[in-house]
């Protein structure tokens, strides 16, 4: 029995409410000058107070030493084994723009790119063309090849989604994007016997796209990667008996939430608007995933001070959230993004669990070092939902 099956067999619906606040890229590393991490440098009295009345620890999104992408980072937080649930880049881009995916669609992430007269790539991103240009080019690429309908949708700058809709399509194909410049796009090849049709259609699409875009330099060619289909996941309703809602300003996170069956609430663009959405919908759901993006963006940019400020911004919203008197609050991240590394990292993520029934530890500040001494220890992120459910008294006793 998997951990998820066990939880499913014990879950029960009750009136208690759970809030899962995901501070993207939460964990960090010490600043080389001060020796203090972003969390240790930030003035976060409300998170510190939450730690004092909660229990804390460090969560491992995928495993020791493994740096997670956003998808495995979040599926783990929602209680799905990130090593068995695989969400391809094509799917992620599509759900991230609310693209109306149908079961069986093969989705790919497209890039508009620039090629020279010989067909060699000179810019994999076509000079990051404006989104408006992208949006005007995408409709030109919609077509039907044999019985396969090809739909497209702009994402941002040079990025777009390609959906292949038809019978007998498989995502088991190689990418056309060589991830290098100075060479032509690769032909798409089947990786399994059942994928030859997909490979053929993708190559014909690339050929036709080249003809259509011939005079559209810098966006005179397309690259494809991350061919994938939506995974068939049991919903959070099925597993946890929860009426779950997602509040996220970035489409990708709304898309991930939709894949696990959450209702996606209108959330605006600021964290204040997100908290307002929480308040407005608080009676209608019993689980809320709130996503805060700025910490990760600052970390990725290597901007230590901006990450500190983002932490202080989210800290100021904590009293507002707590004023709703939720039964369980979890504050964590989908992975660490140390400004020092300018990238996602493998380091475990500081986590607070607050409830009336959590067993408090002695930790009195929210930081990587302090959480190491917390009552949750270093633990897999897939334990967060079982812990939240238990603390919400939403799990029956196991065994007689």
The packing angle between helices 384-391 and 70-77, to 10°, is 30
Pick the binder of a copy of itself from 97, 135, 324, 378 (CB under 8 A). Answer: 378
Q: Per rule CB under 8 A, is residue 191 in the interface with a copy of itself? A: no
What does the per-residue mask of binding to a copy of itself show for 324-343, with x meaning CB under 8 A? --------------x-xx-x
Least gap, CB of 164 to a copy of itself (angstroms): 18
Pick the binder of a copy of itself from 19, 42, 62, 349 (CB under 8 A). Answer: 62
Residues 6+ apart with CB under 8 A from 83: 62, 63, 72
Smaller CB separation from a copy of itself, 269 or 398: 398
Contacting range for a copy of itself; rule: CB under 8 A; set: 180-188, 194-202, 233-241, 368-376: 368-376
Tell me the CA distances in angstroms from 144 to 14, 141, 208, one per residue in order: 50, 10, 11
Residue 307 bridge partners (DSSP)? none
Tell me the CA distances in angstroms from 117 to 14, 125, 298, one per residue in order: 65, 17, 39
Pick the binder of a copy of itself from 38, 40, 48, 383 (CB under 8 A). Answer: 383
- Residues that bind a copy of itself (rule: CB under 8 A) add up to a total of 63
Q: Which helix (DSSP H) or strand (DSSP E) does residue 160 occupy? A: strand 159-165
Which phi and psi angles does 328 have, rounded to 5°?
A: -135, 135
Residues 6+ apart with CB under 8 A from 400: none
Q: Which of residues 78-137 bind a copy of itself (CB under 8 A)?
A: 82-84, 86-89, 92
Smaller CB separation from a copy of itself, 124 or 225: 225
Distance between CA atoms of 170 and 198, rounded to whole angstroms? Answer: 6
Contacting range for a copy of itself; rule: CB under 8 A; set: 46-54, 149-157, 232-240, 389-397: 389-397
Q: Per rule CB under 8 A, is residue 386 in the interface with a copy of itself? A: yes
Q: Per rule CB under 8 A, is residue 204 in the interface with a copy of itself? A: no
DSSP code of residue 271: H
Distance between CA atoms of 328 and 129, rounded to whole angstroms? Answer: 45
Least gap, CB of 150 to a copy of itself (angstroms): 21
Which phi and psi angles does 194 have, rounded to 5°?
A: -75, 0
Structure tokens that stand for 172 in this block: 């088991």
Least gap, CB of 198 to a copy of itself (angstroms): 19
Q: Per rule CB under 8 A, is residue 373 in the interface with a copy of itself? A: yes
Residues 6+ apart with CB under 8 A from 35: none
Q: Per rule CB under 8 A, is residue 297 in the interface with a copy of itself? A: no
Contacting range for a copy of itself; rule: CB under 8 A; set: 110-118, 145-153, 213-221, 387-395: 387-395
Contacting range for a copy of itself; rule: CB under 8 A; set: 77-85, 159-167, 180-188, 207-215: 77-85
Pick the binder of a copy of itself from 16, 53, 67, 136 (CB under 8 A). Answer: 67
Pick the binder of a copy of itself from 33, 64, 215, 325 (CB under 8 A). Answer: 64
Strands (E), 318-363: 328-332, 349-355
Tell me the CA distances in angstroms from 51 to 55, 151, 219, 250, one per residue in order: 6, 48, 51, 27
Q: Per rule CB under 8 A, is residue 302 in the interface with a copy of itself? A: no
Q: Which of residues 214-253 bind a copy of itself (CB under 8 A)?
A: 226
DSSP code of residue 292: E
Least gap, CB of 212 to a copy of itself (angstroms): 28
**In 3-state terms, what secondary structure has residue 283?**
coil
Half-sphere exposure of 48 (CA within 13 A, CB side): 10
For the chain, how many residues are written?
400
Binding residues for a copy of itself, rule: CB under 8 A, are 1, 3, 6-7, 10, 29-30, 62-73, 82-84, 86-89, 92, 226, 338, 340-341, 343-347, 357, 359-362, 368-369, 372-373, 375-379, 383, 386-391, 395-400
């Amino acid at each position: 029995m998997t951990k998820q099956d066990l939880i499913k067999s014990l879950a029960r619906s009750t009136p208690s409410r759970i809030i899962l606040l995901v501070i993207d890229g939460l964990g960090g590393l010490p600043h080389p000058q001060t020796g203090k991490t972003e969390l240790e440098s930030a003035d976060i009295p409300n998170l510190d107070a939450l730690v004092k009345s909660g229990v804390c620890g460090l969560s491992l999104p995928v495993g020791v030493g493994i740096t997670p992408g956003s998808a495995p980072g979040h599926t783990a937080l929602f209680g799905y084994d990130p090593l068995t649930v695989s969400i391809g880049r094509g799917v992620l881009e599509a759900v991230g723009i609310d693209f109306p995916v149908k079961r069986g669609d093969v989705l790919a992430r497209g890039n508009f790119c620039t090629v020279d007269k010989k067909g060699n790539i000179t810019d994999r991103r076509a000079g990051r063309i404006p989104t408006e240009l992208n949006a005007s080019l995408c409709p030109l690429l919609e077509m039907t090849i044999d019985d396969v309908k090809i739909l497209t949708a702009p994402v941002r700058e040079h990025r777009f989604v390609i959906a292949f809709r038809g019978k007998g399509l498989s995502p088991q194909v190689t990418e056309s994007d060589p991830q290098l410049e100075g060479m032509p796009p690769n032909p798409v090849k089947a990786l399994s016997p059942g994928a030859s049709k997909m490979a053929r259609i993708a190559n014909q699409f690339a050929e036709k796209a080249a003809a259509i875009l011939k005079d559209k330099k810098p966006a005179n060619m397309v690259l494809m990667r991350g061919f994938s289909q939506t995974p068939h996941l049991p919903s959070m309703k099925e597993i946890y008996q929860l009426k779950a809602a997602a509040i996220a300003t970035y489409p990708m996170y709304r898309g991930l939430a939709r894949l696990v069956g959450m209702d996606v609430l209108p959330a605006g663009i600021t964290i204040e608007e997100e908290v307002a959405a929480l308040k407005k919908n608080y009676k209608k759901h019993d689980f809320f995933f709130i996503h805060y993006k700025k910490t990760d963006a600052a970390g990725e940019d290597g901007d230590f001070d901006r990450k500190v400020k983002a932490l202080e911004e989210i800290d100021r919203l904590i009293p507002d959230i707590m004023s709703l008197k939720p039964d369980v609050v979890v504050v964590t991240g989908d992975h660490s993004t140390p400004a020092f590394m300018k990238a996602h990292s493998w380091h475990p993520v500081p986590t607070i669990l607050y409830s009336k029934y959590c067993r408090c530890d002695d930790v009195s500040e929210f930081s990587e070092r302090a959480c190491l001494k917390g009552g949750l220890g270093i633990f897999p992120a897939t334990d967060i939902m079982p812990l939240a459910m238990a603390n919400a008294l939403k799990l029956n006793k196991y065994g007689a």
